[in-house]
Amino acid sequence: MSKCTYTVTGMTCGHCADAITEELTTLSGVQKVEVDVEAGRVTVASDGPLATEDVRAALTEAGDYELVGV
């Protein structure tokens, strides 16, 4: 299992966390998503490494969220 933590901007509330979780869990191999809104971090556990562009696209689909530092 692979685990990766991303820094994400634009999250402000629980609804943001829910929207991000919903979109990221649609990616192939994703097992678990943990969102820390206050820290601006999203941790994804998956079967293997995820393509950064897939994560970025899922965040865009979820709302006005931006992947930082990748």
Listed in order, strand segments (DSSP E) in the chain are: 2-9, 30-36, 41-46, 66-68
Q: Is the pLDDT of residue 69 over 90?
A: no
Q: How confident is the model at residue 16 (pLDDT cuts 50, 70, 90)?
A: very high
Residue ranges making up the domain that contains 57: 2-68
- Which region holds residue 58: left if phi is over 0, alpha if psi is between -120 and 50, else beta? alpha
Q: Specify the number of domains making up the chain.
A: 1
Q: Is the pLDDT of residue 70 over 80?
A: no
Q: What is the CATH number of the domain that holds 41?
A: 3.30.70.100
Q: How many helices (H) and strands (E) does the chain have?
A: 2, 4
- Cα–Cα distance for residue pair 37/53, rounded to 1 Å: 21
Q: What is the pLDDT of residue 59?
A: 97
Q: Does this model's pTM top 0.75?
A: yes
Q: Contact, 3 vs 49, CB < 8 A?
A: no
Q: What is the mean pLDDT of the chain?
A: 96
Q: What is the pLDDT of residue 30?
A: 98
